[in-house]
Structure 1
């Protein structure tokens, strides 16, 4: 009986929302000069027309409706560009109006509320983070300071491949190059050796975790296209938020462990004599001294974790 009542309320809610959207769409069509759009259903919009390979769906729509098409992904109006001329107008002529990435549940969660560099909305905060990256984190001097790390890890990889060759044993190049990339990035960013036994997460698990994070960043949740309670209800039914939260919690624990290690007294003493301090040590040092500087006044633990999310997600590149 309870389940029947729940579905009855959901049906009534969907019907009511559909009527509101239908009336609103009619009014907007009369007042706005919108791009051509294929017919859409209430609530789901044009989602039913995107089944299968997305690029082929967009190609077929562009043939029928032109290079600029308006789609309704649930309640979210989305303009699809399918020609170089239109793309140039969007990305160059109207760059300021289109430079921010869309906000989704996954990107907001994994970027700690859009506090990273990749998904931060264009504005004062994004400019500060960009300045931080260019001036402090990835400056030419800083990149050169990690030259020895890159040379050591490449030499270690070549040695392992040579040993496998002498033994005539097969080499998994995917794992080999992932291990090389992870070793360099972890030493540069975290100050920890990926190949040592004391690393926070097992090697196989970190590869899976990075893959899960990338899948989560590109994942679809109902809250992204349906408003308020309706989206949350559907995500609760289908487990959309649960998958994202699981990845976030494991990565957050990993980042917190790395930060806690850097805050230990012995780590602080090592940092003082190390001219090539890792990125986490540099960010923590800037967080302590930010009141004495004229810029970079927005750094806190969430910002540091957001930067780490960008760095760790590049392990699979």
Structure 2
């Protein structure tokens, strides 16, 4: 695991890292290429949606700032001490997302017991160091690294986990030794919620993963593809501004942005994938509500602690009932994704669908979705672009928590720069 929270608060590489300075994360090009700033990971398994995430941040921030006409009086100094602690805590928690879950079990097992292993705290029988993990986990791991060093070895049940808490060590892992760390641990969520480890985030490193990487970087998130969906991003941000204007009723007002920003990201991604809006108060479609319920359930299971992953013997009795919940949720999710594929196949077969020969090229480009792109690729390479591969790619794009977390965290940071002084009101 890489503790990005600890790296982003390392005083040796950041100036005043514990002070509220959102602008410090506006990294230079050199820093973005290095290991100092890790919003989307590093190395060959870094998030392929990084470019899209950064474009969303820039567009949403500029539109929110211009649309809300934020102003600060010259005589009104910033009052950072009056900001809500809960907001800062949420921001810190977002920054602390562990961008990589790197458990290199095979590497550790091949080493002799007398090898030069990293330092490790005293462990208990059977559970190892699980008793040391207290929420928030990123702070606990940071405290351990302060005591035992930036690289330490922990035992979580039967799994050995390397904790990296320094930029130099992270760079060493993901540049010079990135192939060694290119695989992902085998977890129940990968088996039951990711089509048996066949999605890009959890697929074993090899030819299949390289083909998935090519699909996402060349076909789905290329510069031309992102430009094709620029109007969708613009429209969704405008809809958000309209909703904020109506909520303000022409008077200064406080608006809860968290859920609205999350709906914004969901709708942009889903319109790119399927051409539909599934989030927002105005969306009452039955399928949209079904999708929201399924995604909420899947996300909760994905983010929950599963003891079966640390104690495989518990899988025989399905301790906690987690595996049963995963199978039930995945069955519903797979059924919904199959519905999307069939729906788009029918639309492609219909002569009225833009992809079948509309004379308006710009309208065709706007309405073509990522599902359409993958279905077209399926016709040329059916042996690779199977329905399961397409559904897995849709699933990852819909549940891409790395993109969502960074977008949400960074946008909230930037918006907070507009409201650091509570007496300087943002007017609509």
> Are residues 75 and 28 of structure 1, via their aligned partners in 2, closer, same or farther at CA, if it must alter by over 3 Å?
farther
Q: In the TM superposition, what is the alpha-carbon distance from 1:181 to its structure 2 partner? A: 2.5
Counterpart residue number, 2:334: 252
Does 2:344 align with 1:262? yes
Cα pair 1:110 1:306 within 8 Å, conserved:
no
* Cα deviation code 1:94-138 (max 9, x no counterpart): 111012332211133222122222222222112111111122112
Q: Does 174-183 or 124-133 show the bigger shift?
A: 174-183
Cα pair 1:45 1:71 within 8 Å, conserved:
yes
Distance in structure 2 (CA, Å) of the matches to 1:126 and 1:197? 37
Q: Does 237-246 or 128-137 show the bigger shift?
A: 237-246
| Residue segments in structure 1 that go unaligned for 5+ positions in a row | 1-24, 292-296
Q: In the TM superposition, what is the alpha-carbon distance from 1:211 to its structure 2 partner? A: 4.2
Distance in structure 2 (CA, Å) of the matches to 1:79 and 1:42? 19
Counterpart residue number, 1:3: none
Counterpart residue number, 1:174: 258
Alignment of 1:1-317 (within 5 A): 29-30=113-114, 32-166=115-249, 171-194=255-278, 197-198=284-285, 200-202=287-289, 206-207=291-292, 209-227=294-312, 230-233=313-316, 236-264=318-346, 268-269=350-351, 270=353, 271-273=355-357, 274-276=364-366, 277-290=368-381, 297-314=383-400, 316-317=404-405
> Are residues 93 and 289 of structure 1, via their aligned partners in 2, closer, same or farther at CA, if it must alter by over 3 Å?
closer
Distance in structure 2 (CA, Å) of the matches to 1:51 and 1:175? 27
SS in 1 for 2:154: strand
Cα pair 2:308 2:319 within 8 Å, conserved:
no
**Which one has a bigger Cα radius of gyration?**
1
Count of paired positions: 281
Q: From the two aligned structures, give the one with the greater helix fraction.
A: 1
Cα pair 1:193 1:199 within 8 Å, conserved:
no
Distance in structure 2 (CA, Å) of the matches to 1:170 and 1:164? 9
| Residue segments in structure 2 that go unaligned for 5+ positions in a row | 1-108, 358-363, 406-428
* Cα deviation code 1:139-175 (max 9, x no counterpart): 2222222223233333333233323333768754233
Across the aligned residues of Structure 1 and Structure 2, the Cα RMSD in angstroms comes to: 2.9
* Cα deviation code 1:15-52 (max 9, x no counterpart): xxxxxxxxxx9x9534x332232332332222222244
